Amino acid sequence: MDPPAKSPDQRYFPVHTPSPIPEEQDDHSIAASLTPSRSSADFDLDPEDAQSRIPLRQMKRQGSSHQHRRSDLDTYLDSLTEAELELLSASKQGYEGSDPGYESDDYGTGSYARRARLRKRDKLRSGLDTLYKSYSRLRWRIFGGIVVGLVLLILLFLGLEGIKAAQPVDPYAPVAWYPTPQGGTVQRWSESYHKAWDLVRNMTLVEKVNVTTGVGWQMGLCVGNTGPADIVKFPSLCLQDGPLGVRFADHITAFPAGLTTGATWNRRLMRNRGHAIGREARVKGVNVILGPSMGPMGMMPAGGRNWEGFGSDPVLQGVAASETIHGIQRNGVMATAKHFVMNEQERFRQPGDLGLPTALSSNIEDRALHEVFLWPFAESVRADVASIMCSYQMVNNTYACENSKLLNSILKDELGFQGFVQSDWLAQRSSVESAIGGLDMSMPGDGLAWADGEPLWGSELTRNVLNTAVPMERLNDMVTRIVASWYHFRQDHWERPPPEGDGGPNFSSWTDEKIGQLHQGSDDINATGVVNKFVDAQGNGPHAHRIIARQVAAEGTVLLKNMDHTLPLSREGTTEGRYRVGVYGEDAGPGKGPNECPDRGCNQGTLASGWGSGSVEFPYLVSPWDALKSAFREDKVDITPYIRNDVTPEDAMDKDLCLVFANADSGEGYIESDGIHGDRNDLFLQKDGSRLIETVAENCGNGNGRTVVVVHSVGPVVVEPWVDFPGVHALLFANLPGQESGNALVDVLFGEVDASGRLPYTIGRSLEDYGPNAQVQYESTLPVPQVNFTEGLYIDYRYFDRYNITPRYEFGFGLSYTTFELSGLNITHLKKKTELPKSRPKNKLSPPKYSTDTPDSLSTLFPPDFRKLTKYIYPYLATLEGTLPTAYQYPYGYNTPQAPSAAGGGLGGNPSLFEPVAKVQLNVTNTGLRPGYEVIQLYISFPEVKERHGLKLSRVEFPVRVLRNFTKVHLQPGETRTVEMKLTRKDLSYWSIWKQNWVMATKGKYTVWVGRSSRIFDLVGRF
């Protein structure tokens, strides 16, 4: 069909090549004038509309990448030949569909051929543009899908982590941590380790084993004796109890117990007592003294051995332990921090108790372990303690002496301990597992039973090194740690023991006679010699140790009640006529003497010590009656003793003053006394002490006299039955005062020394007040008794505070004979608060390196014609059976390398933990009429903290308040002194189980409480 005739005025709208735009115009301008996605067939415009639209162009946008892409496309299309356009047009037919065609037009500015070519190009451009847009949309959809998928995957991962975090996790599950970190990485010990390396590298295998293993119970003069390394001239070491002084020795001092020492709250006295104990050990030839004790912590107020420690708070225990260790080791004697860790009760502490095959398991979660029970051990390591003793029982169902998490991870890595770990006596329960688990010394050398001569180490360790079950590196580290400790405290300068010199122990733990057997525990006839030289270690003159013993006992006496200023007493009485005084109770008198029962294992006479291996032989004991009978003026006062507990009302009716004595005893689980198997059965006074007090208080002076009650106890005693009696005017807790008991008490009663003791524990109104975790587990239906410390963070006063339980007398409480005022609290920031401590410092030193070649097994056999003593523990083998290398089945996790703890890097932990963050200053004024002591106690409360783990954001629980510092000052009447105490990063941090580090709160404010007990506060501040 021919094209219709055209009117002269008719104009067409050339969509792609408008006539006003020359063909030579640049492609950008051409493209800008076009509607790119539609062809001319899509428009139905009249000529007038078309004419009006010709000048309209799209604006040129130089910044548009899309515009650049359109320009490139046009340039490309313009460059194509007609044949290429035909090919491209044909190739896209399937995508484009049918071609509507163009109406022929012989009129216009171009020829028909050119118009046809332009139509083809336009058609191709439209198709390619559609393809480009489709691809672009598809590309963005794919990209968007990938992004959404990644987001969903991240959310899914976080969600799983959140679900995992929200699900119950067994906080008591055993954790494996291998291998044992080697010693010799701390600068302070570098010289000692270098000397040790020089000695150990020349030792034979049997010599190394001999140094790490005790020779057996009663096979030497001390309670623990290692074997010597004769070739290199390393001597046998003497290890001797204990925390109160040198056990089983003559001419020593029976010091006040640790609990009494803690009650002084006096750092100077703590150190002086430690120095005196160390001095006596040095004079008696003891290399390692088995003290101080800071475990048990006192979580269970009826726990049998609480009295050996310093109180029921980690900071009080940590300060007292640190000061004691510093004092002991100034003499060159190695101190031992014990019992590591969680030895909180005596019942079931060892296998065989009540017929059970295993010991109990103390189960504790990581945070409470760090913040409460490990705290004093960390302070001990920081004080450079030489030795740590692992405890009998299991911790989280692994025996403490083979617990790799405790010994390898926490003690030797996180706390940076450089000394050696020794077992409690028969606390070792395996051979290989204990070695790779971190134990360094087996005591006393016997294995699973007392004095049977069947060791877990000794010859068995030799065999296990030869068959490669125990790596040579581990044995080398064991012996190096022991030898380095010997050098570290300069014991290489001590006089050599026989036959080379006259050094070594000069007493026997097994006989009081001068001549005795050298190996008492053997059934064979063996060598005898002078075993007791009766060397006086007590000091004399102004340096006599009885002076420090008396000071500690006096300042460790706590005045809890003092109505009408009954105390201090007057030596002349308070009446015009004869003043009549009665002294009541068996606890006031000497009984049959302090050493009547072995290891003080009975309650008779006045109580000055608990029982067990932590006790000593008293050289003498001044009973309260011994001191009181000459304390009053004889011309004005009549004093009558009633040294029994079955007094009658008539015994008290004619008295003006009645002094009543009662007690409560306990001790180590191997002794039973009066129905008490170590742990107390309750918190009441024993031997009918409450009835004694009630009888006297109700009848003293026929109701008009004054009764003063004195309690000697191993821990808290419930006083509810009688403390509120009108006749009870004063109450003193004298704890366990040691040999100077009576003298120290008289010092306080008559005001020669201010009543300055403060409670190192809380006295509740009942045993139940201390909470379910504080109850001794006396029975068990399980083969492995499980003792779960679900609220281990809330020990003693922390539990009372958490549940708002009103105690009878709170932790830290005690009265004075004068009055004090605290004022002018000032808190100074020393460092900016940051969440985490500095990065762990890198070790600048490397552990000693030795050959790891397995020694010749023939060298480990008994030498020819060697005379063996029965039950003596030797390192030699009788045969080579079992010495060939084997594939030992190590515990789970043994081959999994562990990263060093971020909380480590120095003695006691990361050094930045001990940097002061805040300084607290205040004024203390004696407002009374007498000189006296005040104990200023600093507690903190944490701000609110939330911690994220996965998607879970949870609030961190804190005790209401925690003790963080204290000081004791002596002031004259009217005197004012400025006191300064500092708070370290660790003081202001909590242990995060997720970050495995000490974390400081950076948001919110800490509250500082300064006062006189855990509930009496004069000053409060925030920072």
Q: Which residues are catalytic?
A: 424
Amino acid at 249: A
Q: Which residues are 516's β-sheet partners?
A: 529
What does the block give as tokens for 500? Answer: 């080379």
Q: What share of the chain is helix, strand, coil (3-state, %, to 5)?
A: 30, 15, 55
Q: How far is CA 963 from CA 220, 318, 341, 1021, in A?
A: 44, 11, 21, 15
Strand-pair category, 387-390 with 420-423: parallel
Q: Which residues are 1020's β-sheet partners?
A: 1009
Residue 350, SS3? Answer: coil
Asked if 164 and 951 count as a contact pair (C-beta separation under 8 A), the reply is no
CA 770 to chain CA centroid, nearest Å? 22
Q: Which residues are 395's β-sheet partners?
A: 362, 398
DSSP output for 38-54: --GGG----HHHHHHHT
Q: What span, in angstroms and rounded, lies between the C-alpha atoms of 751 and 72?
A: 106
Element (H, E) at 183: none
List the one residue out of 510, 551, 534, 690 whose CA is nearest residue 619: 534
Alpha helices in 243-294 (DSSP H): 258-264, 267-283
Strand-pair category, 728-733 with 786-788: unpaired
Q: What span, in angstroms and rounded, lies between the C-alpha atoms of 712 and 692?
A: 14
DSSP output for 118-141: HHHHHHHHHHHHHHHHHHHHHHHH
What does the block give as tokens for 456? Answer: 């877990």
Asked if 255 and 476 count as a contact pair (C-beta separation under 8 A), the reply is no
Q: Which residues are 336's β-sheet partners?
A: 387
Q: How far is CA 483 from CA 23, 340, 661, 769, in A?
A: 100, 22, 49, 48
List the one residue out of 883, 689, 850 whose CA is nearest residue 203: 850
Tokens 């007038």, residue located: 48
With both helix axes pointing from N to C terminus, report the angle between 65-78 and 112-166 in degrees, rounded to the nearest 10: 140
Amino acid at 30: I
Compute the chain's Rg from CA coordinates: 42
Q: How many helices (H) and strands (E) does the chain have?
A: 22, 29
